[in-house]
Structure 1
Amino acid sequence: MPDTRPSPYFVLFNEIGILHQLSRALLEARLPDGLLSSHFGVLNHLVRVGEGTTPLAIARAFQVPKTTMTHTLSGCVKHGLIEMRPNPEDARSKCIWLTDKGRQVREDMVAAAATGMGDFAEHFPEDKVEALLPALTEMRQFLDKARDEI
């Protein structure tokens, strides 16, 4: 009888996908009214990789259509989380910058997510989580670098 077990690569990405869904639900339960996980994603991206980037560059980073990202960015502007300024290198486009409120909301959400991890942190101590991070970071960096080749 042939081995019908899925490959470990499938199982890995399946688990990561499920973890993403569950962690997003945890985050969304703590977001202020009217904010979505996509808004937090933009704030987190700008803090992590830097501000002053274009909507198209952010859309590419999130691998979503520009129209989808434009909608997300509009929500962020509406909530006062980001501002769009003229692109000094191309007057036809804009660059995205965090507002003080956007930075604070992001910091508040990171803190809220951490406080919501009580049972998780008891079951998975920090050292166990930290042991996973190098391999996960390496996988993300590999996939990020190869995104246009996949």
Structure 2
Amino acid sequence: MDRSDAPLYFAFFNEIGIIGQLSRAMLEAELPKGLLAPHFSILNHAVRVKDGQTPLTLANAFQVPKTTMTHSLGVLERHGLIELKPHPKDGRSKQVWITEAGRSLRDRVVEATGPALAAFAQQFDPETMREIVPKLAEMRAFLDAARDED
């Protein structure tokens, strides 16, 4: 990279950060009191990626300390959105399972964001999204792989 390009790359990540903040606010407007975007992200991860992971695996996936993940899981458990069950192969560990209430809440929140997404879609048509999303996924995969090399 040419040093003169550094501001371009900084601006790129800055815009992504701002988009992240704005999308979090949109999401949190649809969440019940006491839940935040990181809590929803755990539910979404369980539905989208894999249910039954350990708190440590989730902490690593979200790049947060295990204590932070333990706190977030406690919030979700108190709301009846997940269950922590003993790990069948490791008595010292637990597994995180999304409950039907958690799955239902996740689905309702996704549906509730529909009007905001419809407004977004009026500005950015599906063809534009089909061009952008694969590039963003490629960038995410690169950054994720680079994180694992550290």
TM-score, normalization by structure 2: 0.92
Deviation at 1:139, TM superposition (A): 0.8
Q: How many residues align?
A: 148
Once the two structures are superposed, the pairs formed by residues 69-84 of structure 1 within 5 Å of their partners are 69-84=69-84
Which residue of 2 is the match for residue 24 of structure 1?
24
Identity across the alignment (%): 53
For the pair 1:36 / 2:46, whether they are aligned, the reply is no
TM-align CA RMSD? 1.6
Deviation of 1:65 (Å): 0.5
Call closer, same or farther: CA 1:5–1:148 in 2, change over 3 Å.
closer
Unaligned runs of 5+ in 1: none
Query: Aligned partners of 1:53 and 1:14: how far apart in 2?
Result: 32
33-42 or 3-12: which moved more?
3-12
**Which sections of structure 2, spanning at least 5 residues, go unmatched?**
none
Q: CA deviation at 1:12?
A: 1.4
1:33-85 Cα deviation digits (max 9, x unpaired): 22111110100111121011100010011111100110000000011111011
1:63 counterpart residue number: 63
For 1:45 and 1:121, the matched residues in 2 are separated by 24
Report what 1:111 is aligned to: 111
Query: What is the one-letter code of the residue matched to 1:78?
Result: R
Distance in 2, Cα, partners of 1:89 & 1:24: 36
Residues in 1 aligned to 2:131 and 2:92: alpha-carbon distance in whole angstroms: 46
TM-score by structure 1 length?
0.92
